[in-house]
Amino acid sequence: MKIYRLHVLISTDSRSILRGALEIEAKLKEEIKKQGLENEVQILRTGGWGVEEGVQVTVYPGGLIYILKDEDDIPFLVTEHFLKGRPVKKLLFEIEAPPRVEAPPTVEEEILRKQTRLVLRNVGLINPDDIKEYIAQDGYQALAKALTSMKPGEIIQVVKDAELWGRGGAGFPTGFKWELTAKSPNTPKYIICNADEGEPGTFKDRVIMEGDPHSIIEAMTISGFATGATKGYIYVRGEYDLSILRLNRAIEQAREYGLLGENILGSGFSFDIEVRNGAGSYVCGEETALIESLEGKRGEPRFKPPYPSTVGLWGKPTVVNNVETLANILLIVLKGADWYKNLGVEDSRGTKVATLFGDVNVKGVIEVPFGYSLRDLVYEIGHGVPGGKSLKMVQLGGSSGSFIPADHLDTPIDWKSLRQIGAGQGSGAILVLDETRCVVDFLKNLLKFFNHESCGKCVPCRVGIAKALDLVDRVSEGNIAVEELEFMQNLAQVIRGTSLCGLGQAAANQILEALKYFKPEFISHIETGYCPAQKCGGFKHV
């Protein structure tokens, strides 16, 4: 086996590729060859960390992160760092941050100090197309442990004991879900990985799928063993080409290694996985709509009960778990419930992968234990709002998430604390809006989105959202009476109370929360035509 002095990991996820990752990779290879370093430096492809500018290149040992934007910098980098061992400071990952008194910490520290990378532990560090690298990072150890030394009931128990709650948005206890399916007398049973990540502003699942696809396969197989399922499906958004490719490749490799398919690891347990793609429908992220879609039908939600745990895919018991939820399983199985429970806070164990974007200095994918406050995330990890503006609100959990106004910013991200202010964590997307943003305009765009994505099956969602949009349009034009805001609120309450699935409920929530926190802004639109973004039609300034 060849031993290299340096390992250079270049991120080749879809975003990096459009920023020229492939060209940069070619140039790197060319330069390395030119300097005669091909036997000393190994180039590996990985997923990105979600750093947004340029192409991320990580060099080990040291773990220094470069952000390359220009091919012309490469000869210098190769000569300086790879040949002479002197890190090139001007290419290191830097953040636009307010100046600090103390000496700036190293980039690596800066990014990781506040984070705990469990779910993302392999992302950016291994080559997702090579099962060997995954195995080298203890990959498939959890599966081996589960199959050889645990009973299905024990696995379910440890997941229950770890208090792992679903990361898709609803936060249902995962172990309980598994138990329902395990107990159901019907067969066959199915495991579905919900990778239909359509929530605007959310791309955490894609980062996992592109950077660490084997972790999902391993976790699904464990789930299959625990619940008695024999077949798994990963339902991936139709737009996620690279995820589909990497997952399929990973599945093939796992089969080759006997880690998937018949008689896994000689345990007598057989399980297989297929990747299925969506075709452009947000509501398919709802588990019953996803099941309908998987069955080749219109992605319309089913009424509940019955729940998929007992009546799911093709009417059979089915576990539906989000990508991130599954990624948590491995460490729970490997290290136990007690270890896992040490992370996070009461009622919210483990970590949360989040995406930070909008009016914030540092954007990207982060992972922190539960209990961090939004303020910490926005100001510590995200380094605050650009241009010294003040923060108006955060939308937590994507377009179906919750409005968190500036005065609730100290709320820790955990289920209990968020519930106290009537919010939820949703998908973990953190969209920051500064003071110049208009809530009415934002709400209008949210309702347009939901109106476009409503499946049309139930009346309150199909008609109610369109009519609510009509009302909000009239607010932005100032062509409505202030008293009608109450009617709008009542409408939203009925939509929330009577919609068939979460889509209608989420849309209504946006209206209710906008009115709850920003009613004066609605009133000022109507009465004076003042719009903070100067966007709305009724703006009567001179």
Partner 1 sequence: MSKVTFKINGQEIEADADLTVLKAAKQAGVDIPTLCDHPSLTPLGACRICVVETKNGALQTACTLPVTPGLEVETESPKVVEARKFILNLLFSERNHYCMYCEVSGDCELQNLGYRYGIDHFAFSPYMKKFPTDFTHKYIMLENNRCVLCRRCVRACSDLGGHYVLGIVNRGSDSLLSPDMESPLKSSSCVSCGICVQVCPTGALADKLGVYLGKTKEMEQIRTVCVNCGVGCGLVAFTKSDHVIKIWGDWESPVNRGILCEQGRYSPLHDKRKRVTHPIIRKDGKREVVSWDEAIATATTQLKSTKSKGGLVYPKVTNEAITYFQKLVDGNTAILENVTPEALKLKEKATLGDILSAKAILLYKVDPSENHGVISSWIKRAANSGTELTIVGDENHSLSFFATSHYSPEDKEKVVESFIGKEGSIVIYDPGICLKSVNLLSKLQGIARFLPLFKAGNSMGAVNLGLNGKLNDSEVVYILASEYGGDSDLLASLKDVKFLIVQANYLSPLTERADLILPSTTWIETNGTITNMEGKILKLTPVVKPTAEAKTDEEILKLISKGL
Partner 2 sequence: MKCEETLYSKEILGLIEKYKATGEPLLTLLHEIQDLHPDNHLPATALKLISKELKMPVSTLYSTVSFYSMFSLKPRGRHIVRVCSSPPCKLDGTDVVLEALEKRLGIGVGETTPDRNFTLEEQSCLGVCSLSPVVMIDEDVFGNVTPQRLPVILESYEED
Closer CB to partner 1, 29 or 298, in the complex = 298
CA distance 117 to 322: 18
- Determine if 286 is a binding residue for partner 2 (CB under 8 A): no
**From partner 2, partner 1, none, interface partner of 303 (C-beta below 5 to 8 A by class):** partner 1
- The stretch near partner 2 (CB under 8 A) out of 61-69, 72-80, 290-298, 413-421 is 290-298
Q: Which residues bind partner 1 (CB under 8 A)?
A: 281, 298, 303, 305, 451-460, 462-464, 466-467, 470, 487, 490-491, 494, 497-500
- Determine if 299 is a binding residue for partner 2 (CB under 8 A): yes
478: left (phi over 0), alpha (psi -120 to 50) or beta: left
Length of the chain, in residues: 542
Contact 168, 286 (CB under 8 A): no
Closer CB to partner 2, 208 or 226, in the complex = 208
- Looking at 228-341, list the stretches that DSSP marks H as alpha helix, in order from N- to C-terminal side: 241-256, 287-294, 323-335, 337-341
Least distance (Å) from partner 2 to the CB of residue 282? 6
Least distance (Å) from partner 1 to the CB of residue 245? 28
Site string for partner 2, 321-360 (x = CB under 8 A): ----------------------------------x-xx--
- Determine if 462 is a binding residue for partner 2 (CB under 8 A): no
Residue type, 462: R
- The stretch near partner 2 (CB under 8 A) out of 33-41, 137-145, 259-267, 449-457 is 449-457
* Buried b or exposed e, range 432-452, using 16+ CB within 10 angstroms: bbbeebbbbbbbbebbebbbe
**3 state SS of 515:** helix
Query: Which of 124, 139, 200, 350 touches partner 2 by CB under 8 A?
Result: 200
**From partner 1, partner 2, none, interface partner of 367 (C-beta below 5 to 8 A by class):** none
Least distance (Å) from partner 2 to the CB of residue 445? 4
**From partner 2, partner 1, none, interface partner of 307 (C-beta below 5 to 8 A by class):** none
CA distance 373 to 538: 37
Chain residues 105-164 in contact with partner 2, contact rule CB under 8 A: none
Chain residues 13-72 in contact with partner 2, contact rule CB under 8 A: 14-15, 18, 52
CA distance 83 to 28: 13
How many residues sit close enough to partner 2 to count as binding (CB under 8 A)?
48
CA distance 59 to 25: 13
Q: Which residues pair with 67 in a beta bridge?
A: 56
Closer CB to partner 2, 42 or 445, in the complex = 445
Closer CB to partner 1, 27 or 496, in the complex = 496
Closer CB to partner 1, 12 or 476, in the complex = 476
Query: Which of 364, 424, 502, 504 touches partner 2 by CB under 8 A?
Result: 364
Number of helices (H), then strands (E), in the chain: 21, 15
Q: What is the DSSP string of 322-347?
A: EHHHHHHHHHHHHH-HHHHHTSEETT
Residues sharing a CB contact under 8 Å with residue 18, sequence separation 6 or more, in sequence order:
none
Closer CB to partner 1, 107 or 511, in the complex = 511
Instruction: Quickly count: other Cβ atoms within 10 Å of residue 119's Cβ.
Output: 26
**From partner 2, partner 1, none, interface partner of 199 (C-beta below 5 to 8 A by class):** partner 2
Query: Which of 266, 296, 305, 388 touches partner 2 by CB under 8 A?
Result: 296
CA distance 219 to 323: 9
- Tokens standing for 534? 């100067």
CA distance 9 to 56: 8
**From partner 1, partner 2, none, interface partner of 364 (C-beta below 5 to 8 A by class):** partner 2
- Tokens standing for 67? 């952000």
E strand map for 397-521: 402-405, 429-434
Chain residues 414-433 in contact with partner 2, contact rule CB under 8 A: 429, 431, 433
Phi, psi of 3, rounded to the nearest 5 degrees: -115, 125
> Given the rule CB under 8 A, which residues bind partner 2?
14-15, 18, 52, 197-203, 206, 238-241, 274, 276-282, 293, 296-300, 355, 357-358, 363-364, 399, 429, 431, 433, 437, 442, 445-446, 448-449, 452-453, 455
